[in-house]
Amino acid sequence: MAAWQPGAPDSFAEAVLEVVADIPAGRVMTYGDVAAVLGSRGARVVGQVMARYGSDVPWWRVIRASGQPPVCHEHKALEHYVSEDTPLRSSTGSGVRVDLASARWSPEIRWPDHSNDST
């Protein structure tokens, strides 16, 4: 096991990054969705993880509950949304918004297989 290094993600951060890496092209999750999948209510913590460590995963696929992309990354996110055919909503004055009803994704929950357990 590698020694802990300053600035290295902890296990929660690693779990966030794993969930985000699994989001398919053209689909999105909100910060709260990612937190909920991990059994947490910490949407803001997910945002902090993404801000600090999210550059190596498809960060544009994690959006605000309003359907808006991450703050200060709207233009770059839009490039990704267009290239991935992510469903968008027309919006007046508030920038790009993802159509959450069409684009929201949730990972399949995989329960442990205990069929071979002896009891």
Q: Where are the domains of the chain?
A: 11-103
pLDDT at 92 over 80: no
| Mean predicted lDDT score pLDDT of the chain | 86
State the average pLDDT over residues 56-81: 95
User: Could you tell me the two tokens for 66?
Assistant: 């309003």
90 — pLDDT class (breaks 50, 70, 90): confident
Q: What is the rounded radius of gyration, in angstroms, for the C-alpha atoms of the chain?
A: 16
pLDDT at 108: 74
Question: What b-and-e string marks burial along 62-80, b requiring 16 or more CB atoms within 10 Å of the CB?
Answer: bbbeebbbbeeeeeebbeb
Name the architecture of domain 11-103: Orthogonal Bundle (1.10)
Question: How far is 74 from 28, CA to CA, in rounded Å?
Answer: 14
List the beta bridge partners of residue 28: 104
Give the separation between CA 56 and CA 21, rounded to whole angstroms: 9
Task: Look at residue 57 in the predicted model and tell me its pLDDT.
Answer: 97
Mean per-residue pLDDT for 42-55?
A: 95
Residue with tokens 């442990």: 112
Entry pTM: 0.81
What pLDDT does residue 29 have? 97
Q: How far apart are CA 87 and CA 99, in angstroms?
A: 5
The pLDDT-based confidence of 26 (bands split at 50, 70, 90) is: very high
